[in-house]
Structure formats: C-alpha cells, structure tokens
C-alpha cells in the first residue's frame, strides 16, 4: 500500500487557530498530535505501507516536514508541491502518475485528507482491508460513513438498489448526491441507502489512470505535462517534485468526485462507522470535548459563572465568562473569536473580509514558522519591531540585505554564527551585533541546541517583503 495524503485548504472556518500559513492539518489536538500527524499514523497502522506521498502547497513544505520528523518516519517520503490549489483531481492524478513511475501500475494507493479525524482506528483498518481487496479487483473505491443525523453540510453516496449499508463489504454506487436540504437529508437517514461522502479513496494505480484517460483525458494530459515540467530534488530520506506554476495553471480546478467518480461505472463504496469528523467548524471541534454539567466544553483555563452550553478554547490565558450561553469563544495571542454556536460556519466570512482588507491576521500567527525555525513578534510600533527568533540546530537563514531597516541582534541562549558585512563572528549568550541597513548578513546556528535571539528592527519600513536574498539553502532566492 502507498499512502497519499492530501494536505490542502486553509480551514478558514477554524480561524483564528487556523491561518493560511498554519492551516487546519497543523492544528494540534488534545493528545498533542496534529491532524496531519494523526493521518500519517493512521495510514501506517491500517496497512503494510511502502511509501507516503504528501501533496501540499510549496509554502508549507518545511512545516510539513517538521511534523513528520517528530514521528521518525521509516518509509520513503515523497512530496508533490503545488504552487497554488487546484482541488483534489489534479492532486490525486499527479500522485498516481508518480507512483506509476516509481512502483508500477499494480501499486495500491490509499488517499487520505490530512485534516479529518477518525476515532475508531480498528474499524478504519477493517475498512481499508475491504477497500484494498476491491481495488485490487479493479474498482475505484470510496469510503462512506453511515450517517448519525440528518446532516446538510456533507455530500452523500447512494448505494445500489437492493443494497443495505452493512459494514465489511464493498457495494456498488448508484450515484453521488450534493449537499441536500434538511427534509431530503432526513429521508436519506431514514432510508438506509445513503452514506456521507468521506473523501477517502483506494485505487489500483493502473485502474485510476485508465479511468481518468476515459473520463477526464484533458485533465490527465495537463497533469502529465505539469509533471514533465516539474523540478525534482532529493533530500535526507525524501524526494520532492515541485510543480511548475505556468504548467499547473493550465490544469482544471476540479474535484476527483466531479472529474471521475460520478462518471465511472467501476466505483464501489465501503460503508463504515469510524467515529469520523471532517472538523469543518468550531461546533464540530467542540463535539470532541467532554461537556461539564452545564454543557460547557473547555480547552485551556476558564472560570465560568452562570454560563451554559459554551465552547471555550484558550491555551495561553484565562478566559472568564459570566451570564452567557451557546457561544463559541476562541482566544489566540493576536485574535479573539466570539460567535453564536449556530453561526460558527460563518467564521469564514470574517476571514474573507480580513483578506480583502489586507490584514495579515488571515495568514499568520504571532509566531511564524520558517524552514530554519520560528520568529515571534513581541512588540511593534512606529519605526520599530521586536522579535524573538529561534533557529534550529544546524540551520541558517539566507544571506540577505534590507534596504529600509537596521537590526540589532542579542543572543539569549545558544551560539550564533553571524555574517555581518565583510566580517564573520561568533556570538554567545548576552553578546550582540548591530547590522546597518544595506549590509549583507546571515544568521546560523552551529550548535546542537536551539539558538534563541532577540531582534530589534528600526527604520522607515519594516515589512517582511523588504528582503533581498543572495544565497539560501532552502531555494528561496528570487
């Protein structure tokens, strides 16, 4: 089995925890694992895995790698890096073409979204075994979740006439159904022939490519051309395929359901009960937390008085609530969300507005992840900004220069190797250096512990785009 993890989407309905540069797959659950990590581990446990391919945005590559490194992966890791989103059909097609090149047409691929949660992993393993058997026989297999309520926010899969949604077998699919109205969803729940479409799939690579050639030839051709124009590289324990933006721009923006599954006659569904959630809103996130006697669900520290049926999420400071009910309260270091539970889906409208207004709050947290480590904005005002910078052992920033700002670096812990103009110096705890505007400079951690520094910027313009890179080990030079 070859696992294909699709890590796309911004998760805007889970703002302010989810941001464009820190989307839903990186959200940490209560057990300390991110959704991406839990997806990886789930795939490992469900089958004998030969390789793992992750399809994600190229800006998220190093963040994704950090999450995987924490798990000490033992299989080869392949990355397909997209310059921008093009939905699931191009992602799945590109992964299949790469698997065909590496492992042949008989390879089985298990496609998993990186941002779903499954609580019954034993049931998931059984479902994967059933799906693998059907896929080996030449079927395109999807997973259908037996509905527990009349949900209007999911697509549905209708099984063939005379079939019942019994677990442990692969059934013929009659049709895929769009998100239904309330009364239609209630009829589906009562009828027993409709399943929630979970967006997980199992294919034999050769079968998938044959069916794409028959039903979506233009898409398959465009993806093939994109891979031919891609840049390939190898790193420690992984290979990277970076898709060309110009070629990828010609690929249709389409889901695998629309492009193929709704058209093919070789589709089967495995009904299952997995404790599945796509965590599509704060209300869905709240349902994962055990309520207290007043129906309140809390992550973090909260003091509640005459408060009922609220979800409170705050990992950094105390939240106090008095005399309120049916609220979602999510607190982060730079943004606070207060919403009625019944309107938690509309958080995405706030994110859209922030984006239109040019606010960085839709994109970044106060702590921003970079390939070399992180930086946290501590304070900023007119003509100054203060950051806490943490550099991983052995990592280095680019050799760079700023036109409009000077910087003062102070080492808090660890050792810094600094290029400052024509000089190269070592700085230790409590030592510092000043870098004038226009000076080439580089910061490196030559040690075996994290390097922590305070950076004080001053100047007429302090935006992150005032940077000229001359050399960069992460390939970010323009």
pLDDT above 60 (res 66):
yes
Report field, pTM of the whole predicted structure over 0.85: yes
pLDDT at 280: 87
- Cis? peptide before 40, omega within 30° of 0: no
> In this structure, are residues 282 and 330 in contact, taking their beta carbons and an 8 Å threshold?
yes
What is the rounded average pLDDT of the residues 239-268? Answer: 94
Helix H or strand E encompassing 92: helix 88-103
pLDDT at 419: 95
| 62's tokens | 């190093």
Looking at the chain, the whole-number percentage of residues with pLDDT higher than 90 is 82
Neighbours of 74 (CB within 10 A): 10
pLDDT above 70 (res 69):
yes
How many residues in total does the chain contain?
478
- How far apart CA 345 and CA 154 sit, in angstroms, is 13
pLDDT at 163: 56
- How far apart CA 124 and CA 46 sit, in angstroms, is 7
pLDDT tens digits, 409-462: 999 999 999 999 999 999 999 999 999 999 999 999 999 999 999 999 999 999
- How far apart CA 37 and CA 53 sit, in angstroms, is 13
**Pairing, β 77-82 against β 238-242:** parallel
pLDDT above 90 (res 160):
no
pLDDT at 11: 77
Angstrom distances, CA of residue 290 to CA of 286, 293, 330, 367: 8, 10, 17, 29
Q: How confident is the model at residue 275 (pLDDT cuts 50, 70, 90)?
A: very high
Q: What is the 3-state secondary structure (H, E, C) of 416-465?
A: EEEEECCEEEEECCCCEEEECCCCCEEEECCCCCCEEEEEEEEECCCCCC
- Residue 140 CB-density burial (10 A; 0-12 exposed, 13-18 middle, 19+ buried): buried
pLDDT tens digits, 121-148: 999 999 999 999 999 999 999 999 999 9
Q: How confident is the model at residue 475 (pLDDT cuts 50, 70, 90)?
A: confident
- Residue 430 CB-density burial (10 A; 0-12 exposed, 13-18 middle, 19+ buried): exposed
pLDDT above 90 (res 311):
yes
36-72: buried (b, 16+ CB within 10 Å) or exposed (e) per residue? bbbbbebbbebbebebbbbbbbbebbebbbbbbeeee
- How far apart CA 85 and CA 89 sit, in angstroms, is 11
Helix H or strand E encompassing 78: strand 77-82
Angle at which helices 88-103 and 205-215 pack, to 10 degrees? 130
The DSSP result for 265-315, as a single string, is: S-EEEEEE---EE---SHHHHHTTS---TTS-EEEEEEEEES-BS-EEEEE
| 234's tokens | 């190898």
pLDDT above 90 (res 192):
no
The DSSP result for 135-183, as a single string, is: HHTT-EEEEEEPPSS--SSS-EEEEPTT----TTS-EEEEEEEPSPPHH
- How far apart CA 459 and CA 406 sit, in angstroms, is 6
Task: Calculate the average pLDDT of the chain.
Answer: 93
| Domains of the chain with CATH codes | 2-277 (3.90.550.10), 288-352 (no CATH), 367-471 (2.60.120.10)
pLDDT above 80 (res 162):
no
């Amino acid at each position: 089995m070859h696992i294909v993890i699709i890590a796309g989407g911004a998760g805007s309905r889970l703002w302010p925890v989810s941001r464009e540069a820190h989307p839903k797959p990186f959200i940490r659950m209560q057990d300390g694992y991110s959704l991406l990590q839990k997806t990886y581990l789930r795939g490992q446990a469900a089958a004998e895995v030969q390789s793992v391919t992750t399809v994600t945005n190229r800006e998220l590559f190093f963040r994704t790698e950090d999450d995987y490194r924490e798990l000490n992966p033992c299989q080869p890791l392949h990355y397909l890096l997209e310059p921008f989103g093009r939905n699931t059909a191009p992602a799945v097609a590109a992964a299949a073409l790469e698997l065909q090149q590496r492992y042949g047409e008989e390879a089985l691929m298990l496609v998993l979204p990186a941002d779903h949660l499954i609580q019954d992993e034993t049931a998931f393993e059984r479902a994967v075994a059933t799906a693998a058997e059907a896929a080996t026989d030449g079927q395109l297999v999807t997973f259908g979740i037996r509905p527990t309520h009349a949900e209007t926010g999911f697509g549905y899969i209708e099984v063939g006439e005379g079939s019942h949604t019994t677990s442990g077998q692969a059934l013929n699919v009659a049709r895929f159904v769009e998100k239904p109205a309330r009364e239609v969803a209630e009829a589906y729940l009562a009828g027993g022939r409709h399943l929630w479409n979970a967006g997980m799939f199992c294919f034999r690579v050769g079968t998938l490519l044959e069916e794409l050639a028959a039903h979506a030839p233009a898409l398959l051709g465009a993806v093939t051309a994109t891979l031919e124009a891609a840049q390939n590289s190898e790193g420690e324990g992984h290979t990277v395929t970076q898709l060309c933006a110009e070629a990828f721009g010609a690929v249709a923006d389409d889901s695998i359901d629309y492009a193929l599954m709704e058209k093919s006659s070789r589709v089967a569904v495995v009904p299952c009960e997995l404790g599945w959630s796509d965590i599509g809103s704060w209300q869905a996130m709240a349902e994962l937390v055990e309520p207290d006697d007043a129906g309140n669900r809390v992550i973090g520290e909260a003091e509640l008085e005459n408060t009922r049926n609220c979800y409170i999420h705050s990992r950094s400071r105390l939240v106090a609530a008095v005399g309120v009910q049916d609220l979602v309260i999510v607190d982060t270091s730079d943004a606070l969300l207060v919403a009625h539970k019944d309107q938690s889906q509309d958080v995405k409208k706030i994110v859209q507005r922030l984006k239109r207004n040019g606010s960085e709050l839709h994109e970044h947290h106060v702590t921003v992840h970079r390939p070399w480590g992180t930086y946290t904005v501590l304070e900023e005002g007119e003509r100054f900004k203060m950051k806490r910078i943490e550099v991983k052992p052995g990592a280095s920033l680019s050799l760079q220069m700023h036109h409009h700002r000077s910087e003062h670096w102070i080492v808090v812990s660890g050792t810094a190797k600094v290029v400052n103009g024509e000089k190269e110096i070592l700085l230790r705890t409590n030592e510092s250096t000043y870098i004038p505007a226009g000076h080439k400079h580089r910061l490196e951690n030559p040690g075996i512990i994290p390097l922590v520094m305070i950076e004080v910027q001053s100047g007429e313009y302090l935006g992150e785009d005032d940077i000229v890179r001359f050399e960069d080990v992460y390939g970010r030079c323009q």
